[in-house]
Amino acid sequence: MSRVIIDNLTKEYNSPGGSIVAVDDLNLAIDDGEFVVFVGPSGCGKSTTLRCVAGLETVTGGSIQFDDEDVTDQKPKERDIAMVFQNYALYPHMTARENMAFGLKMSTDLSKEEINERVEDTAEMMGIEELLEDKPKALSGGQQQRVALGRAIVRDPEVFLMDEPLSNLDAKLRAQMRTELQQLQNELDVTTVYVTHDQTEAMTMGDRIVVLNDGQLQQVGTPLECYHRPANQFVAGFLGSPPMNFLTVEADLENGALRNSMFTLPVSDSVAAEIDSPNLVLGIRPEHIELTDTPETHGEPDRLIETEVTVTEPMGDVTNVYLDIGGESVTVTTDGKTGASAGDRLYMHVPAAKMHLFDAETGDAIKHSDEPIDSTSVPETSSPAETA
Amino acid sequence: MIPDELRLSPSAKDQLFDLLSRGILGCLLLFALFPIYWMIISSFRTRTEITAADPQLLPIELSEIPLIVQDPVILLEILHYENYVTMWGRFPVLDYFINSLVIAMTTTGFALVVGCLGGYAFSKYRFPGKGAVGGALLGTQMIPGILILLPMYLMFIWIQNNIGFPMVNTYHGIIFVYTTFTVPVAIWMLRGFFDTIPDSVEEAARVDGCSRIQALVRIILPMAAPGIAATGMFVFLVAFNEVLFASILASGDVTPFAIGIQSFETQTTAYWGEMMAASTVATAPILVLFVLFQKPIVEGLTEGSVKQ
């Protein structure tokens, strides 16, 4: 188990059109035994960062340390890591047993018997004892996945690196493996770096999540921190499904209001004091909007916006209602029993406490919702990297 | 306009197309196999039978079939197997065959070693001039052999005269020549097979404790085995069947079978029967090898074309 420190990591690729910056001056400290999830859209640099940590990519600048040892220039085999790949990358000409034993054979001095014992113990833990003599071709996707995980676990490495390990599984199996992986990581207590583009995985699995975009660190924090206190509009829009709604507004500080051609919303003095830009983006999560067809009886009539329903998506427990406000689309997650249907004219209520505000130019957050963040399960987040 | 009653239904069209394509394939197959058939039956004939003005298509009379069914041993009397006995004494057939095997197998070995390393580098590494070198390798295949035959011969003589290292009529000389023109093909073929192996498998091996060369030997090469078998077979056949360079650069003690077989036709006599018998004996092991390795070769030849 190791503490992983990524210090000013930069990775550039040469291309005919000049160099492409895949990772831009990334700083991060991952605690011993921590489960950290790198999340972001395709091409954000999350996999490249992971591959740099693995030693599969050379770095252009900066350093990577495991505990106090600088591993930046070490080969993958010298780093005591184990990696799980998106396509599992099992060795097709070897049985599951040989796949799992291969790493131990190559990187340790263990005897055949000791290797066998460890492979069998791990196989038992993973529930794949029956599959040990099968070749990967004979295994289902889920079983291959388990063998690939087993191959990583049996090594008992300092750091686990996982590159979208669940994305080739079907939805049901993915949900099951998600919880299993979490339990495994809790039991083994090995520092884990997990890369995914799936924000559900990021939200549910990680002790902390690292949101990346265009090679740059956007935010590091617990899932709930990132969800309720997004550092900027990108993080706010990336986490959550359906995503946060954004409406462009102008600040009318003299009248203490936010204006859009379709509506005016009052803002409190304390919020107004923090606004230093006239052009803003109002953010509100779909689950925080309330719909009503009786504005006259509503407690906060000045926070209601008249809208028209364009589409409804009944999901069973909830229904996603899509609204149109002067050409901008807003999604509302309501109770599954809602009677709203396309064409209805409804009023949406934007609670002041749940509202986010972002600077329209920089995207930086100006105001967050007041949703509580449960910090009891949050590990120490005092790394200097987070302030970067 | 075609009257409706003469129009073919779609399924009848399919059947007709099927029949036609099988017919064409059958004709082509006949065209390819007939010389081999003729070689085999001629090897069981006397010179008179072979040179007869009206050669028989079948090696036996139709009336003899019931007799053969009753007693197969009678075949030995009807068919003239003497050619298979006398050919060994008349010409050094075995030497020719061994020469061919030595040359073809060594060439295959060299071509596969260089081809695997080169193909792997072309497939998995990025290096300056990759496109140009790859193109140049392919370009060597565009030059007709006859154009480099004379320069090659002169070069061999030069080496012999100036360095004192004999090249003409030696194993290493002809193996060197065959290796030079099979290596580019081997590299290109193997590159295609390596391309189908995901990078992540090699990366997994490196994380598991392998160096790049260990990952290649322990993981990548076993995975590319069908491709290596197909490439090896291709190189072997090229080297085994080659006539042009061998006719100039490999005679005397290293005469391969493809050249040696010509000695059955002397200035005074042509020993057709024995020539055909020797050819049959030389072809048989290759055919058996092909049949045994057919599956991996076919898999190998088609594998590179489809992205997995």
Please state the domain extents for chain B.
4-84, 91-307
- Interface ipTM: 0.84
Check CB contact under 8 Å for B211 and A75. Answer: yes
Contacts of A55 in chain B (CB under 8 A): 206
- Of residues B308 and B240, the one with the higher pLDDT is B240
Per-residue confidence (pLDDT) for residue B270, from 0 to 100 = 86
Q: Are residues A220 and A250 in the same domain?
A: no
Tokens standing for residue B292:
């045994």
Check CB contact under 8 Å for B206 and A93. Answer: no
Q: Are A323 and A343 in contact (CB under 8 A)?
A: no
Alpha-carbon distance of A31 to A104, in angstroms, equals: 26
Alpha-carbon distance of A20 to A14, in angstroms, equals: 6
Q: Are residues A202 and A57 in the same domain?
A: yes
Q: Are A89 and B208 in contact (CB under 8 A)?
A: no
H helical segments located in chain A: 46-54, 96-107, 112-126, 141-153, 171-188, 199-205, 223-228, 233-238, 269-274
Assigned domain for A373 exists: no
- Of B206, B209, B219, nearest to A56 by CB-CB distance is B206
Kindly tell me if the per-residue pLDDT of B188 is higher than 90: yes
Q: Are residues A34 and A149 in the same domain?
A: yes
Residue identified by tokens 């999830």 is A37
Q: Are residues A36 and A126 in the same domain?
A: yes
Check CB contact under 8 Å for A76 and B206. Answer: yes
- Of A56, A92, A103, nearest to B209 by CB-CB distance is A103
Per-residue confidence (pLDDT) for residue B70, from 0 to 100 = 83
Q: What is the CATH number of the domain that holds A28?
A: 3.40.50.300
Per-residue confidence (pLDDT) for residue B229, from 0 to 100 = 87
Q: Name the pairing type of β-strands A279-284 and A356-359.
A: antiparallel
Tokens standing for residue A90:
């099992």
Alpha-carbon distance of B228 to B113, in angstroms, equals: 10
Element (H, E) at A325: strand A318-325
Q: Are residues A187 and A122 in the same domain?
A: yes
> Could you give the 3-state DSSP secondary structure of residue A307?
strand
First CA to last CA across chain A, in angstroms?
25
Assigned domain for A382 exists: no
Q: How many CB pairs under 8 A join A and B?
A: 60
Q: What is the pLDDT of residues B14-24, one digit of tens each?
A: 899 999 999 99
- B-chain residue closest to A160, CA distance: B207
Per-residue confidence (pLDDT) for residue A378, from 0 to 100 = 42
Alpha-carbon distance of A184 to A186, in angstroms, equals: 5
Q: What is the pLDDT of residues A219-237, one digit of tens each?
A: 999 999 999 999 999 999 9
Angle, CA A384 vertex, CA A238 and CA A85 arms, to 5°: 50
Q: Are residues A146 and A266 in the same domain?
A: no
Check CB contact under 8 Å for A75 and B206. Answer: yes
Assigned domain for A384 exists: no
Assigned domain for A132 exists: yes
For range A188-210, the mean pLDDT: 92
Element (H, E) at A96: helix A96-107
Among A109-123, B45-59, B156-170, the minimum mean pLDDT is found in B45-59
Q: What is the pLDDT of residues A126-156, one digit of tens each?
A: 889 999 999 998 898 889 999 999 999 999 9
Q: Are A4 and A70 in contact (CB under 8 A)?
A: no
Give the structural domain span for A70: 4-228
The minimum CA-CA distance between B292 and chain A, rounded to whole Å, is 20
Architecture of domain B91-307: Orthogonal Bundle (1.10)
Kindly tell me if the per-residue pLDDT of A384 is higher than 50: no
Q: Are residues A197 and A255 in the same domain?
A: no
Per-residue confidence (pLDDT) for residue A246, from 0 to 100 = 95
Assigned domain for A362 exists: yes
Q: What is the pLDDT of residues B192-246, one digit of tens each?
A: 989 989 999 999 999 999 999 999 999 999 988 888 988 998 899 899 989 999 9
Q: Are residues A289 and A351 in the same domain?
A: yes
Kindly tell me if the per-residue pLDDT of B5 is higher than 80: no
Task: Please count the CA atoms within 13 angstroms of the CA of A47 that sit on its side-chain side.
Answer: 12
What's the structural domain count of chain A?
2
Cα distances (Å, whole numbers) of residue B262 to A113, A153, B254, B255: 62, 66, 14, 11
Check CB contact under 8 Å for B214 and A75. Answer: no
Task: Please count the CA atoms within 13 angstroms of the CA of A382 that sit on its side-chain side.
Answer: 1
Per-residue confidence (pLDDT) for residue A274, from 0 to 100 = 86
Q: Name the pairing type of β-strands A35-39 and A191-196.
A: parallel
Tokens standing for residue A292:
């009503």
- Of residues B67 and B26, the one with the higher pLDDT is B26
What angle, 0 to 180 degrees and rounded to 10, lies between the N-to-C axes of helices B171-195 and B93-124? 40
Confidence of residue A68 (pLDDT cuts 50, 70, 90): confident
Check CB contact under 8 Å for A75 and B208. Answer: no
The 8-class DSSP code of residue A244 comes to: P
Q: What is the pLDDT of residues B262-273, one digit of tens each?
A: 888 888 888 888
Q: Which residues on neighbouring strands pair with residue A249, listed in sequence order?
A: A280
Positive or negative CA dihedral for B157, B158, B164, B170? Answer: negative
Instruction: Return the number of other C-beta atoms located less than 10 Å from residue B208's C-beta.
Output: 29
Q: What Rg do the C-alpha atoms of chain B give, in angstroms?
A: 25
Q: What is the CATH number of the domain that holds A301?
A: 2.40.50.140
Kindly tell me if the per-residue pLDDT of B101 is higher than 80: yes
Tokens standing for residue A291:
């719909």
Alpha-carbon distance of B289 to A346, in angstroms, equals: 79
Helices and strands, number each (H, E), in chain A:
9, 21
Instruction: Return the number of other C-beta atoms located less than 10 Å from residue B171's C-beta.
Output: 15
For range B277-284, the mean pLDDT: 89
Tokens standing for residue A74:
């070490």
Residue from B117, B230, B243, B116 nearest B174 by CA: B243
Residue of A51, A80, A86, A87 to mutate, interface with B, max B Cβ within 10 Å: A87
Residue count (chain B): 308
Last residue of some domain: A170, A201, A228?
Answer: A228
For range A189-194, the mean pLDDT: 94
Assigned domain for A383 exists: no
Confidence of residue A254 (pLDDT cuts 50, 70, 90): confident
Assigned domain for A379 exists: no
Q: Are residues A166 and A266 in the same domain?
A: no
Contacts of B214 in chain A (CB under 8 A): 106
For range A242-271, the mean pLDDT: 89
The 8-class DSSP code of residue A348 comes to: E
Q: What is the pLDDT of residues B158-181, one digit of tens each?
A: 999 999 999 999 999 999 999 998
- Of residues B1 and B167, the one with the higher pLDDT is B167
% of chain A with per-residue pLDDT over 90: 64
For range B256-261, the mean pLDDT: 90
Q: Are residues A195 and A250 in the same domain?
A: no
Kindly tell me if the per-residue pLDDT of A383 is higher than 50: no
Alpha-carbon distance of B22 to B25, in angstroms, equals: 5
Among A144-158, A245-259, B70-84, the minimum mean pLDDT is found in B70-84
Q: Are residues A275 and A185 in the same domain?
A: no
Kindly tell me if the per-residue pLDDT of A386 is higher than 70: no
Q: Are residues A349 and A219 in the same domain?
A: no
Residue from A206, A152, A151, A155 nearest A178 by CA: A206
Per-residue confidence (pLDDT) for residue B117, from 0 to 100 = 95
Q: Are B235 and B186 in contact (CB under 8 A)?
A: yes
The minimum CA-CA distance between A25 and chain B, rounded to whole Å, is 25
Contacts of B198 in chain A (CB under 8 A): 87, 89
Contacts of A81 in chain B (CB under 8 A): 207
Check CB contact under 8 Å for B201 and A107. Answer: no
